[in-house]
């Protein structure tokens, strides 16, 4: 059994967690920690279209869960509608309630989501604060009508569905932050251009303590990531934490929520970006910040938490990444997750009063007893001499290797990065005997502005050449058999894999791309009916690089077999991108196959589909390597 999202009830006496159900489904289980009772299935969604993403306790007997799904209104890519819904249920599976945004037959517009829970209200048993969308209805001017429009905040009782408006909606609002104690302190407002398209300009407002008026706090521009963007509120210090660039890298800054608006740098790194905030407890207190060098690390602002994590690390395996992922209301009982590159993780329950650490369950019991591979951080030279960070995963038990079948596995994003830890794709192929190289090509996030370049699309030549350099390094070091070297990627990684085959058709003997971008102009066009169209257009860019950087424009360049996987409900990258590429490749005589997963999205989050993806990929690679001409 696999499990994730382990959470504790406010009193710390019960736990809840999610497990996969058949296919794309998911099930919420609850269990009492002080008895021998078996876990109870409280709620199951089959994934058609909704599956459970995460759940949280709102009382000692009740939980709320967010579900995600994609629905199609027509055959057009732009009519794929990503949706979310909130559901409340008692721990025994009774009193199931959907607390969707209120809507009548007169409501104008369509709600793609029910909003977001922004505060679990530790002192309000069973109630939450939600940011929710309002739309006017056709009864404006009547006693039943309403002209309220935009995003507001409601207090919602998850048992009775009673609603009380806390913050009136504002048409251009997109975000609210609370102090974790039920008080809304920050509002984000988005500038809208002609046609309602986002311009990328964000303005943030705050409320002083014990006040209801909004005052300007800061600005942020999504087009170039300049300015300051808030992430969390500390009510005791009366500050908001957020991120701003410092010397070309993301750093944590705090601004006081009073008339002074005093700003100070809280934490920065000279080598890498600060990537996130460490938060703990049901009030989501900020206790530190994270950054990634060879592996994820944390700098703690809160001495007791620092001491806690250090003590836990001594009691757990030496290489483990240790994090607190859940807590009782008083934080005397904690959920601890310890994981590593060769360990998908173990959940523990830690009692801070007795200092007792007990094992709850492993994250992936199916892998118990199976030897898993380790990830080695390293670097290799690109063709211009720049040193590219990467991770190398060898088959389990191999400390060194020569002449192995090998994969270069570029990550998605493109503004993302790989991290040291358990990775199911690289683990599978390592277990099948492959060496797997995961390059942090230029265009990856986390290393600052200079490394990010313009981004992996506008600077595709640099990114793709870094990926190719990784393949050449594997061969030059003797790790990879040049006749058994392939490239595999998902999303942007799939794009990088395909474009690598265009730039250097002789290096890789097989190419696998999962949900790949194949056509840069089409990627932009897929967003035309969405408010972020102009931002995506700016991100991908304009000019000759669109055609030059689109694999679909160069089918005759492919000299190796190609295998594609794509879901028909992919709202990130349209399924037709793979369909059109496969048609072009076949006209040139390339051995090309497209595996279609009906009604699956970009993540292909379906156990059966992912198992098929892995089996077909392994079979494809073995066949391609067997038929590849020998390398001399």
What does 146-202 look like in DSSP terms, one character per residue? ----EEEEEEEETTT--EEEEEEEETTEEEEEE-SSS-EEEEEEEEE-GGG-EEEEE
How far apart, in whole angstroms, are the C-alpha atoms of residue 91 and residue 89?
6
pTM: predicted TM-score of the whole model, two decimal places: 0.94
pLDDT at 107: 46
pLDDT of residue 72: 82
Nearest Cα residue to 57 out of 98, 13, 26: 13
pLDDT for the residue 3: 93
Q: How far apart are CA 500 and CA 462, in angstroms?
A: 11
The residues of the chain scoring below 70 in pLDDT are 74-78, 100-111, 138-146, 629-632
Distances (CA, A) of 159 to 8, 18, 44, 90: 19, 22, 19, 9
Question: CB burial class (10 A; 0-12, 13-18, 19+) of residue 143?
Answer: exposed
Measured in whole angstroms, the distance separating CA 148 from the mean position of its chain's CA atoms is 33
The pLDDT value recorded for residue 23 is: 85
Q: Which two tokens stand for residue 367?
A: 């892998």
| pLDDT at position 188 | 98
Contact between residue 20 and residue 363 where contact means Cβ atoms under 8 Å apart: no
Residue 285: predicted pLDDT: 94
Whether a cis peptide bond, with omega within 30° of 0, leads into 443 is: no
Q: In what order do the strands lie in the sheet with 198-206?
A: 173-178, 184-192, 198-206, 215-221, 226-227
Pairing relation of β-strands 40-45 and 26-32? antiparallel
Residue 414 in 3-state DSSP? coil
Nearest to 205 by CA among 236, 170, 237: 170
Contact 627, 513 (CB under 8 A): no
Residues 319, 340: contact at Cβ < 8 Å? yes
Predicted pLDDT of residue 462: 97
Q: Name the one residue in this structure whose structure tokens are 């090509």.
A: 441
Q: Please give the pLDDT value at position 140.
A: 52
Long-range contacts of 272-278 (CB under 8 A, 24+ apart): 272/446, 272/447, 272/448, 273/249, 273/445, 273/446, 273/447, 273/448, 274/243, 274/249, 274/250, 275/250, 275/446, 277/231, 277/232, 277/241, 277/252, 278/305
Euclidean distance between CA atoms 218 and 226, whole angstroms = 11
Strand partners, 80: 72
DSSP state of 332: S
Task: Specify the pLDDT at position 630.
Answer: 63
The CA distance from 240 to 599, in Å, is 41
350-391 pLDDT tens trace: 999 999 999 999 999 999 989 999 999 999 999 999 999 999
Pair type for strands 51-57 and 592-597: unpaired
Q: Is 63 exposed, middle or buried (0-12, 13-18, 19+ CB in 10 A)?
A: buried
**Collapsed DSSP state (helix, strand, coil) of residue 422:** coil
User: What is residue 632's predicted lDDT score, i.e. its pLDDT?
Assistant: 47
- What lies within 8 Å, CB to CB, of 462 at 6+ separation is 441, 442, 443, 453
Using CA atoms, how far apart are residues 161 and 60, in angstroms rounded to an integer?
18
Report the candidate in 542, 534, 602 with the shortest Cα–Cα distance to residue 567. 602
What pLDDT score was predicted for residue 304? 93
| Residues making up the chain, counted from first to last | 632
């Amino acid at each position: 059994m696999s499990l994730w999202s382990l959470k504790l009830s406010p009193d710390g006496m019960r736990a809840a967690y999610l497990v996969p159900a058949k296919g794309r489904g998911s099930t919420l289980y609850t269990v009492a920690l002080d008895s021998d009772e078996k876990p109870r299935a409280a709620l199951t969604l089959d994934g058609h279209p909704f599956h459970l993403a995460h759940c949280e306790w709102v009382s000692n007997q009740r939980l709320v869960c967010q579900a995600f799904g994609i629905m199609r209104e027509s055959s057009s890519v732009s009519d794929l509608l990503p949706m979310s819904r909130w559901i409340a249920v008692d721990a025994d599976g009774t009193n199931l309630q959907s607390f969707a945004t209120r809507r009548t037959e007169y409501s104008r517009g369509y709600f793609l989501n029910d909003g977001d829970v922004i505060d679990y209200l530790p002192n309000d048993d069973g109630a939450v604060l939600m940011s929710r969308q309002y739309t006017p209805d056709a009864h404006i001017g009547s006693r039943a009508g309403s002209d309220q429009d935009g995003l507001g905040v409601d207090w919602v009782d998850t048992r009775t569905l009673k609603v009380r408006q806390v913050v009136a909606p504002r048409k251009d609002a997109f975000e609210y932050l609370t102090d974790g104690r039920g008080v809304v302190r920050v509002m984000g407002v988005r500038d809208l251009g002609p046609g309602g398209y986002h311009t990328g300009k964000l303005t943030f407002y705050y409320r002083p303590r014990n006040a209801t008026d909004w005052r300007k706090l800061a600005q942020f521009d999504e087009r170039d990531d300049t300015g300051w963007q808030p992430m969390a509120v500390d009510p005791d210090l009366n500050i908001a934490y957020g991120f701003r660039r410092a010397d070309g890298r993301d750093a944590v800054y705090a601004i006081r929520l009073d008339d002074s608006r005093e700003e100070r740098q809280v934490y920065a790194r000279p080598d890498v970006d600060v990537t996130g905030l460490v938060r703990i407890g049901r009030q989501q207190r900020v206790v530190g910040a994270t950054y990634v060098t060879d592996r994820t690390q944390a700098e703690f602002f809160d001495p007791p938490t620092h001491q806690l994590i250090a003590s836990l690390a001594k009691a757990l395996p030496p290489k483990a990444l240790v994090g607190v992922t859940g807590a009782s209301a008083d934080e005397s009982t904690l959920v601890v997750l310890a994981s590593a590159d060769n360990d998908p993780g173990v959940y523990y329950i830690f009692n801070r009063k007795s200092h007792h650490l007990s094992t709850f369950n492993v994250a992936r019991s199916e892998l118990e007893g199976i030897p898993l591979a380790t990830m080695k951080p390293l670097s290799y030279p690109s063709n211009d001499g720049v040193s590219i960070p990467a991770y190398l995963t060898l088959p389990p038990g191999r400390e060194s290797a020569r002449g192995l079948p090998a994969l270069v596995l570029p990550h998605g994003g493109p503004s993302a990065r790989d991290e040291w830890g358990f990775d199911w794709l690289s683990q599978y192929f390592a277990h099948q005997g492959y060496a797997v190289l995961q390059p942090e090509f230029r265009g990856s996030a986390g290393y600052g502005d200079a490394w990010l370049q313009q981004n992996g699309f506008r600077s595709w030549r640099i990114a793709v050449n870094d990926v190719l350099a990784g393949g050449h390094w594997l061969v030059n070091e003797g790790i990879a058999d040049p006749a058994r070297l392939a490239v595999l990627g998902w999303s942007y990684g799939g794009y990088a894999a395909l474009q690598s085959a265009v730039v250097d058709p002789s290096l890789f003997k097989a190419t696998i791309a999962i949900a790949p971008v194949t056509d840069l102009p089409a990627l932009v066009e897929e967003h035309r009916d969405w408010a972020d169209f102009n931002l995506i257009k700016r991100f991908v860019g304009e000019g000759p690089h669109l055609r030059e950087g689109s694999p679909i424009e160069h089918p005759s360049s492919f000299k190796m077999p190609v295998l594609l996987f794509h879901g028909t409900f992919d709202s990130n990258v349209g399924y037709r991108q793979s369909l059109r590429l496969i048609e072009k490749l076949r006209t040139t005589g390339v051995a090309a196959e497209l595996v279609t997963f009906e009604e699956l999205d970009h993540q292909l989050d379906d156990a059966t589909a992912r198992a098929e993806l892995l089996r077909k990929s392994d079979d494809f690679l073995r066949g391609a390597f067997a038929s590849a001409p020998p390398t001399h």
